[in-house]
Amino acid sequence: MDVRRLELLRELADRGSITAVAQATHRTPSGVSQQLKRLEQEAGVPLTARVGRGIQLTDAGEALAETARRIALATAEAESLWQEFTRSPTGTVTLTTFPTAGQMLLPGLLTRLGEEPGLDVVVTDHDLALPDFAELAPDFDVVIADSQGVPRHWSERGLTVVPLMVEPFDIAMPEDHPLAQKTVIRPADVVGASWIGSPVGYPYDRVHDALAAVTGRAPRIVQRVMDNLIVEALVAAGVGLAILPRFTTRSHGNGLVTRPISGVAAERQISAILRADRAVRPSVRRVVQLLREEAELVSSRYRTP
């Protein structure tokens, strides 16, 4: 079987449509369809099936797509081994991050790269309407993602997951709020409070679900806002409380304070997720190593002595 056609099948498994594969591989949709049809002829069994107006892989197609992933990984490992014998990591690594992780990690990462001649990182930031970071992995070498634990579908898609840091969430409130006198906030303390929430499904929103489970009362969310700077301004103005990340919330001199939460799980795991074949490239491995070092430095600033 032609390895290049197998790679197109892998792209279809990851991207979900002929059109998306064509755009990513700089082909026409008809060209992609023709190559997949030839692969199907070589295989002797159906690899795709029509479902409504779309297309999905058959069991045989899924098996061959997984084979394509393993071939790509083996090829990348061989190239990586050769590069380790011949030169230091060089080249361009593409990286995408959500805003608060970029705030924490990019300044240090890009400064450290000044000492890595020949190694460049091209950064993109994103704010997903629905946070499924695995959808970004086909288009970037490194995706910085946040989650509660490791989502099952990351593993099912064969992605490499490198934990970077765990960031706690705090409750933000106006600095003159009665709860600001407390050092730790319990779920019972915020029953009946008004909240500035995040979009449904975001990590902050899951803390509201946890509070509801403990107290038996759904939080009263008066607004839902994605941008944390806007949330901070609304909290400082007294519109409501909010769940915000500890390391990047500006809680000094801007009218709000933050307090830790007890009694519910309130944290997120920040990870680098990558396609397995990209994860073994020396240039990508070096960038991930620098990210881990920077994440450790950021986390250490907030550790209790």
| pTM of the predicted model over 0.95 | no
Mean pLDDT by 10 residues, the chain (305 residues): 78 85 85 83 81 82 82 75 63 93 94 89 81 87 90 88 95 94 95 93 87 94 93 95 91 83 92 92 92 94 67
pLDDT for 95-134, tens place per residue?
Answer: 999 989 999 999 999 999 988 888 999 999 987 665 688 8
**Pairing verdict, β 142-147 and 48-51:** unpaired
Q: How far apart are CA 256 and CA 16, in angstroms?
A: 44
In the block, which residue shows the tokens 């600001």? 180
- What are φ and ψ of residue 226, in 5° steps? -85, -40
